[in-house]
Structure 1
Amino acid sequence: MELNLDAEVLEAYGFSKEDLDIAQIGTGLINRTYLLSPLIEGKKYILQNINTVVFKKPQAIANNLRSIADYLSGLYPHYLFIKPIQTLSGEEMFFFQNEYWRMLPYVPNTVSLDVLTEPQQAFEAAKQFGKLSRLLDRFDASGLEPTIEGFHDLELRFEQFQSALNGASNDLKARAQNEIDDAQNHRYILDYFQSYVLLPDFPDRVMHHDTKISNVLLNTQTYEGVCVIDLDTIMPGKFISDLGDMMRTYLCAFTENETDLNKIKIRLPYFEATIEGYLSEMKHILTTTEKELILFSGKYIIYMQALRFLTDFLNGNIYYPTAYLTQNLDRTKNQFKLLSDLISRETELQDIIETHLV
């Protein structure tokens, strides 16, 4: 397969196509990613094209990563933080033909998973995300720029849903009436969050914001966590962004694309592993208010994602890629089923949390 990779991009980092084996890798939907393997034995590299439709301010990504890398290298020099490699001219990105590129070191003897198959994998991933948050506990998050405005802003997502509802055709509204009712009936999740958001012990932290399992590297032999990757969305946020996204993506055996809702259930061993891994790093860092909101973080992120899928359906499927007309509606049903199962098991899940807070 011919790869759409200009020689000038490689030359900016001191390489040529003749010196490399180049393969497109990864399952991410946002950035194009390539593995560069020198034909003469040497280090491998990751080359990424930044999607400026999603990330409208690439320089904000570069600035954030530089600030965090400088902080971590000063206080925790042995921590593996994957920062971009500079171009030959000393830049952290290469701009060519209206596209931004960056190169990253390849971490050998590691694997990223697309699917969780063992609770221990959830433990290791949660521990790695928690560790990054712990090490950045005293970093001034206000010095970072949002790389996607309003990314986990539930109030904004609810407003977008209402706007889409007001503009949707009668046919789309009729198809989605049950889900529209669910969205409105769960508005209390937003109200509950707003009752906490201004409390002094509910701080903004440096959050990853996209804590799916594929964004952690694990050792290929032991499956122990090695480091966190895909740092484009690292920016200020509440702790619920990271832990809630872990709950949304780790706890069910099936993704949001599963249409058999009977399969959408919380797996208790994965819940406990996630909580145990995260709190093994964050238990002594979280404030009283944050500890109260641990389980709520799952409600917040799952509800927000349900709203986003429903909004896109009502808007005519203009954001998320779909294979058929009602896929975003099916994704909405899936997420509301996951939310319902989480809520129905709240007492059981809270007991697990309390056990690991001791």
Structure 2
Amino acid sequence: MRNSIYTERPSIAETVLPLFGWQQVPLSIEPFGSGLINSTWKVTAVTGEAFILQRLNMQVFTQPNHIAANIRQIADYLQQHTPGYLFAAPVQALNGTSLVTIEGTGCFRMFPFVKGSVTKDVVASAAEAYEAAVQFGQFTHLLSGFEAAQLHITIPSFHNLSLRYQQFLTALQQGNTERIEEAKEQIEQVKQLASVVQQYEAIRSNPGCKLRVTHHDTKISNVLFDEQGKGLCVIDLDTVMPGYFISDVGDMMRTYLSPVSEEESDYSKIVIRTDIFEAIVHGYFEQMKTDLSADELKLFVYAGKFMIYMQAIRFLTDYINDDVYYGARYPTHNLVRAGNQLVLLQQLLASETVLHEIVNKVCDLKQS
């Protein structure tokens, strides 16, 4: 997925680019970004103009036309209501759509490369976390008048915690018995924290918790920054669907709060950076303060629990099921990932009182 487009499949440059109107040999085509699902390249023309070429992973996104339709609806709405907002809409192909499909090769799309933009793979400071939270909050806020139900569901039940927990229980009945025995400590931890699922169910039945246009994949690499470190816009809209704000805020907490990633096997390095937490709350609330209900304001800390717990369950379930979803570079890879997330969750729970105080402080400051 990360190889040069030429070495991976030499004919792609010749067969795909002309379908988007290219009349010249590109100056360069290089792997771009750190995404693990789609294959992405930066294509530079001899004029210096650059584009992002992407091949969709159709095993994950089985209905690419649904993604294209969602992005088109959002682009049209933003252009009508907030034309000054930077939205990296896809390039229209010669067939009149934003997608081209080549049998045996894949489904492709192109985006203009935002000049002067940079991406980040790791949150290094509270300032970066704040800028990212502002961008994700602004995205949802600007679409507050858009009827979220109009969007296609691109990954069914993507953040359905109740389903993920049921899949975990099913794995315990049908999965690899040796792995179940090896993972008994982590399994017990997940069971002891099942109240997180119960609270999710309460949210789903609470009219004070609204389904909105939600990004669902708020890692830092899905924000474009300028060269001075200011956020420009959000990218990678494949998972934009109706959802609860806890998905976006929770995913930021899951991927920003610890200085190490879910791949870290030295659990002693996993800590909660409270300055990063405050930056997330500050940036997101700054944009969403007129949208969030009183019930939702109480859920900032829960958002972190929700996403970290769900990811721990997904890694653990995959381990028990012999690594059929995430794959593994070594035999206990998904067990290590699950343990990592459970440690992060325990650290969050240990800091819960302090984190609630931060939420109260930030909301009071911004409302006064």
Partner of 2:288: 282
Say whether 1:319 aligns with 2:325.
yes
Take 2:145 and 2:174, find their aligned partners in 1: how far apart are those partners? 44
| Structure 1 residues 85-131: Cα deviation after superposition (integer angstroms, max 9, x where no partner) | 11022111001115211010100111110111111000000110000
| Letter of the 1:164 counterpart | A
2:172 to 160, 165, 169: 165
Report the equivalent of 1:338: 344
| Cα 1:19–1:338 shift into 2, 3 Å | closer
Unaligned runs of 5+ in 1: none
Q: Could you state the TM-score of these two structures normalised by the residue count of structure 1? A: 0.97
Aligned to 1:309: 315
Deviates more, 1:141-150 or 1:282-291: 282-291
**2:154 paired with 1:147:** yes
Cα displacement (A) at 1:326? 0.4
Q: 2:97 aligned with 1:91, yes or no? A: yes
1:120 aligned onto 2:124: no
**Whole-angstrom CA distance in 1 between matches of 2:198 and 2:24:** 55
Alpha-carbon contact 1:69-1:83 (below 8 Å) kept: yes
Partner letter of residue 345 of structure 1?
Answer: S
1: CA distance, partners of 2:302 / 2:176:
33
SS at match of 1:110: coil
Question: Is the Cα–Cα contact under 8 Å of residues 147 and 233 in structure 1 kept in the other structure?
Answer: yes
Q: Is the 8 A contact 1:85 1:103 kept in 2?
A: yes
CA apart distance, 1:16: 5.0
CA distance in 1, matches of 2:35, 2:28: 21
**Counterpart residue type for residue 200 of structure 2:** F
* Contact 1:7-1:16 at 8 Å conserved across structures: no
Cα displacement (A) at 1:274 = 1.1
1:178 equivalent in alignment to 2:175: no
C-alpha distance 16-160 of structure 1, shift in aligned 2 (>3 A): farther
Letter of the structure 2 residue corresponding to residue 239 of structure 1: F
Q: Does 1:13 pair with 2:20? A: yes
Partner of 1:132: 139
Amino acid at match of 2:134: K
Q: Note the alpha carbon deviations across 1:207-254, whole angstroms, 9 max, x for none.
A: 00000000001111x100000011110111111100000000000000
Could you tell me how far apart the structure 1 residues matched to 2:48 and 2:27 are? 10
CA distance in 1, matches of 2:340, 2:24: 45
CA distance in 2, matches of 1:310, 1:19: 44
Q: Per the alignment, do residues 7 and 16 of structure 1 end up closer, same or farther by CA in structure 2, a change over 3 Å counting?
A: farther
The Cα shift of 1:42 comes to 4.3
> How far did 1:43 drift?
2.2
How far apart, CA to CA, are the structure 1 residues paired with 2:151 and 2:271?
37
Secondary structure in structure 1 of the residue aligned to 2:25: helix
CA distance in 1, matches of 2:269, 2:180: 26
Q: Give deviations 1:65-99, integer Å, cap 9, x for gaps.
A: 01111100000000011111110221110011152
User: Paired residue for 2:77?
Assistant: 71
Structure 2: gaps (5+ residues): none
Q: TM-score under structure 2 normalisation?
A: 0.94
Letter of the 1:189 counterpart: V
The answer to whether the Cα contact below 8 Å between 1:302 and 1:335 also exists between their aligned partners in 2 is yes
- Amino acid corresponding to residue 233 of structure 1 in structure 2: T
RMSD value, Cα = 1.2
Instruction: Please give the per-residue CA displacement for 1:36-76, whole angstroms capped at 9, x wherever unaligned.
Output: 1111x242111100000011110110010011111000000
Q: Is 1:204 aligned to residue 231 of structure 2?
A: no
**Residue 37 of structure 2 is aligned with which of 30, 36, 42?**
30
User: Does the CA contact (< 8 Å) of 1:123 and 1:276 recur in 2?
Assistant: yes
Give the 3-state SS of the residue equivalent to 2:20 in structure 1: coil
Q: What's the offset of the Cα at 1:8? A: 1.9
1:111 maps to 118
Shift of 1:18: 2.0
Match of 1:244 in 2: 250
Q: Which residue type is aligned with residue 81 of structure 2?
A: L
Report if aligned partners of 1:123, 1:273 keep a CA contact under 8 Å in 2: yes
Q: How far, CA to CA, are the matches of 2:303 and 2:26 in structure 1?
A: 48
Check if 1:356 corresponds to 2:368.
no
CA distance in 2 between partners of 1:46 and 1:6 (Å): 13
* Aligned partner of residue 155 in structure 1, secondary structure: helix
| Deviation digits for residues 323-351 of structure 1 (CA, Å, limit 9, x no counterpart) | 11001001111101111111111110000
Matched, 1:227 2:225: no
Give a deviation string over 1:6-43, Cα, whole Å, max 9, x none. 4221110111562432112221111111111111x242
Q: Give 1:267 deviation, angstroms.
A: 0.6
Count of residue pairs brought into register by the alignment: 356
CA distance in 2, matches of 1:162, 1:14: 51
Deviations 1:253-290 (A, max 9, x none): 00011111111110111111111111111122101111
